[in-house]
């Protein structure tokens, strides 16, 4: 490249500037755009919203008191004396109990995942960013938890701490921290090796500032996607715990617990007894499909 050849090139940047004037859109804006144009995800997100709303407003929506027992109205089929969904083995209205049960299930589904995302996410970011011994220390500790099947671990923890909703949530949180941590660690390790972290370090920025400005934004996506997929797992596990008698205690309305107590009556009123299972199934399917949609919208290489 001779000097004259270079100098006869058009004034710098003119060609560069002519790039198509695309609409300027941030990452989250483009995620929102893709989500709005994904009809399936929109539909199931709407379903999830309905489920959440029905749980929140359960006291207003329930036609009967979910704890009101009746000796003569036990195990009645759909539609018996205004009990749209029938009654259970103690004569309590199934519709009211399903609505109220959703509150426990959703709480048990969402709260442990939220806490685990924060705790596990932070641990993972720290492990991934620090590397070396810190990484080994944190990740090998997580591997110890990984050695147990998640159901077994949840059962063991809540069994050791005793039943009850708070202990159940605690057990689920502990179960979810290791995988959450691993997802955050992987994402952080990927980001850490990129030049812009090095460039940030070259300006003299400290570790904390680099993590806050440059790492968190890039790790949030994968963590959020994974967390959304864990919600349905959490609901299922929570129901499982209740089913085994390790979650909430009777007479609290909870899908897992209802499934457990109604299972003896499956030959008497099969459809009524299957209702809590159907509720669990629909809820977890809806959360799963929304999570899939989120993954599709967010998992984009830009």
Residues binding other proteins (CB under 8 A): 1, 3, 5-7, 9, 11-13, 15-17, 19, 21-22, 24-27, 194-196, 198-205, 209, 213-214, 217-218, 302
Judged by CB, which is closer to other proteins: 19, or 72?
19
The neighbour count for residue 87, using CB atoms within 10 Å, is: 27
> ∠ CA(191), CA(195), CA(200), 5° rounding?
90
Q: Is the peptide bond before 251 cis (omega within 30 degrees of 0)?
A: yes
Whole-angstrom distance, CA of residue 111 vs CA of residue 290: 18
Contacts of 152 (CB under 8 A, 6+ apart): none
Q: What is the DSSP string of 212-241?
A: IIIIHHHHHHHHHHHHHHHHHHHHHHHHHH
Min dist. Cβ of residue 1 to other proteins (A): 5
Min dist. Cβ of residue 201 to other proteins (A): 6
Query: What is the tally of helices (H) and strands (E) in the chain?
Result: 14, 0
* Residue 150 three-state SS: helix
Min dist. Cβ of residue 224 to other proteins (A): 13
Min dist. Cβ of residue 12 to other proteins (A): 4
Min dist. Cβ of residue 258 to other proteins (A): 44
Judged by CB, which is closer to other proteins: 42, or 205?
205
The neighbour count for residue 273, using CB atoms within 10 Å, is: 23
Judged by CB, which is closer to other proteins: 166, or 209?
209
Judged by CB, which is closer to other proteins: 25, or 249?
25
Judged by CB, which is closer to other proteins: 27, or 146?
27
Judged by CB, which is closer to other proteins: 53, or 199?
199
Structure tokens at 141: 């500790």
Whole-angstrom distance, CA of residue 203 vs CA of residue 181: 29
Structure tokens at 102: 């959703």
Min dist. Cβ of residue 132 to other proteins (A): 12
Min dist. Cβ of residue 17 to other proteins (A): 7
* Residue 177 three-state SS: helix
Min dist. Cβ of residue 152 to other proteins (A): 35
Contacts of 221 (CB under 8 A, 6+ apart): 27, 187, 298, 299
Judged by CB, which is closer to other proteins: 59, or 137?
137
Could you tell me the sign of the dihedral formed by the alpha carbons of 14, 16, 21, 24, in that order? negative
The neighbour count for residue 226, using CB atoms within 10 Å, is: 22
Judged by CB, which is closer to other proteins: 59, or 217?
217
| Residue 91 CA: distances (Å) to CA of 71, 74, 75, 135 | 6, 4, 6, 55
């Amino acid at each position: 490249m001779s000097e004259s050849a270079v100098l006869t090139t058009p004034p710098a940047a003119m060609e560069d500037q002519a790039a198509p004037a695309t609409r300027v859109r941030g990452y989250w804006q483009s995620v929102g755009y893709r989500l709005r144009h994904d009809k399936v995800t929109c539909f199931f997100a709407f379903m999830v919203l309905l489920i959440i709303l029905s749980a929140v407003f359960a006291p207003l929506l329930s036609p009967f008191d979910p704890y009101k027992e009746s000796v003569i109205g036990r195990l009645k089929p759909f539609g018996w004396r205004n009990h749209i969904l029938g009654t259970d083995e103690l004569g309590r209205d199934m519709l009211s109990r399903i609505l109220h049960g959703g509150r426990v299930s959703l709480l048990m589904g969402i709260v442990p995942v939220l806490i685990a995302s924060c705790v596990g996410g932070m641990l993972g970011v720290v492990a991934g960013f620090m590397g070396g011994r810190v990484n080994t220390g944190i990740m090998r500790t997580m591997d110890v938890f990984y050695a147990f099947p998640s159901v077994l671990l949840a059962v063991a923890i809540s069994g050791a701490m005793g039943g009850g909703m708070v202990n159940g949530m605690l057990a689920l949180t502990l179960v979810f921290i290791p995988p959450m941590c691993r997802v955050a660690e992987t994402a952080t390790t990927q980001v850490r090796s990129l030049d812009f972290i090095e460039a940030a370090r070259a300006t003299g920025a400290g570790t904390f500032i680099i993590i806050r400005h440059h790492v968190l934004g890039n790790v949030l996506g994968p963590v959020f996607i994974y967390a959304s997929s864990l919600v349905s797992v959490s609901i299922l596990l929570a129901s499982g715990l209740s089913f085994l008698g390790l979650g909430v205690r009777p007479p609290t309305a909870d899908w897992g617990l209802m499934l457990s107590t109604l299972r003896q009556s499956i030959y008497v009123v099969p459809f009524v007894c299957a209702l809590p299972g159907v509720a669990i199934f629909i809820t977890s399917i809806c959360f799963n499909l929304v999570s899939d949609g989120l993954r599709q919208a967010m998992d984009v290489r830009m």
